[in-house]
Structure 1
Amino acid sequence: MTGVPASAAGGSSQAQGAGRAPGGATAHSATGASADTPDAAGTPGPTGRMVAAEGAKPARGGKIAAAAVNQASVWNIANLLTMLRLVLVPGFVALMLADGGYDPAWRSLAWAAFAIAMITDLFDGHLARTYNLVTDFGKIADPIADKAIMGAALICLSALGDLPWWVTIVILGRELGITLMRFLVIRYGVIPASRGGKLKTLTQGVAVGMYVLALTGWLATLRFWVMAAAVVLTVVTGLDYVRQAIVLRRQGRAERGETLEETEE
């Protein structure tokens, strides 16, 4: 027994804590002060242990909840649209080559599958960025789905004799080459999609869609010029991405060299 009431002892210790705070202001609230205030025996009181434990629980619970959200986010709407586009690829090929590949009815159904794939390509990326639904699966599957549907359409068209093989080679070579280049320079930074690249994608989709349909007359002439524009945009934007990659690599290596020099000093 110290002869001092517990309330007085608590008040004294709080006053001392307030005196130690910078500028004379109380650093903690009454509950927070009791967490750091020893009892009469000079050891941390049970209240302090309880507050500390309660303060730690939300942090652990938050990590568990965040992990659960990340695991569940794989099945978000953006990824489901990407999966749908992947599933449409074999269906599109089957419709495109049905009955020898020249039946207007089957080609119309193939065009519908291609159009759905192109539309989902526009929406899944927008939804992922707008609603923070970006996942590792989406980062990998989305470009694969894009290249798969476009590559399948171009190869089918060239195999049927509707489109010269050199057009297919130029477009697919550019797409695969730029994708590989992005991975090679990812250590230095990310090459953002340009307006020209987005226009290229749109023009390619319209041109290939027009070739998938069994068009005749002036529409057949129009699709030729649309495809020509798509090829030009494909080459020009591809060269621009190469230029950006070279600049990004030089800047990254220069910054790394400066960092090494500062470290040696």
Structure 2
Amino acid sequence: MAARKDLDGSASVPAFYGKELRWKREAVGLTLQQTVDGSFYGVSYLSEIERAQRRMPVDLARHVDRVLRTDGFFERRCEDVRKAKKAFHAPYFADAVDMETRARDIEEWCPMLIPGPLQLEPYIRKIIHAFNPLDDEEVVDGKVAARRDRAWVFEDADGPASWVVFHESVLRQPLVDDDAMAEQLAHVAAVARRRRFIPQILPCNAGAHPFMMGSAFLMSFSDAPPVMYTEGMYSGQIVDDPGTVVQYQQAYNRLRAAALPPEVSLKMIEAAAEDYGNGNHARRIERNHLA
């Protein structure tokens, strides 16, 4: 049997944390399975924390501290690990990004913007400049790269099963010039055509509907309870109370019922991309201004 590769604890804060976790666990003679017994998490998840490939959730850290009798050490260090990772993501989004990597299913409602993992560079830059106009180009470049790194969520065959409901205004109100908007929407449609996610469009005339107050990002897992993430311009929140998550899930089901069927929605996205590409959208806006 090949010797196990020892993790270099000096490489990063997560590496130090993972190495210490494994050392403490082995020092008391517990297996990975024995350590996670009684928690909502699986062996593979704890193993990935020990290898610095996952962040330790606070509830699991508390569980580990109890099992290993480490006097709250791992719970106290969770924040250090969180700050050390995802430097170009907003701090309030770091936990959601981490959860995204192990989600089995993702359901998203997008009232104003195309989801981050589907955004192309011109679209991303326009959003960053609008939300954070004082960011220098180095920071903007880092944020663009961080967002494009999440493209796997929708584009990888092994990514989570995903369902996205867009408001029609996402198609009708361009954030970038017509050529860039055409490319952006064509990309969204192409990813959907490869069966990487299921799109639905909520039409502008849908009337009252769930989530009129904001976005929603529901994630379910094989080894943990489901959660919901919601975000404002400069803040975000993970909701993990089981009863509240169920309410959000039911609301999302009603939202899907109010939206157009997936195939109709996909054709709308493709038609909008074509409109931007051949100039029809600009001519339509000009006619409306003259009317």
Higher RCO structure (Cα 8 Å, ≥6 apart): 2
TM bin (shorter chain): under 0.3
Q: TM-score, normalised by structure 1?
A: 0.27
Higher relative strand content: 2
Higher gyration radius (CA): 1
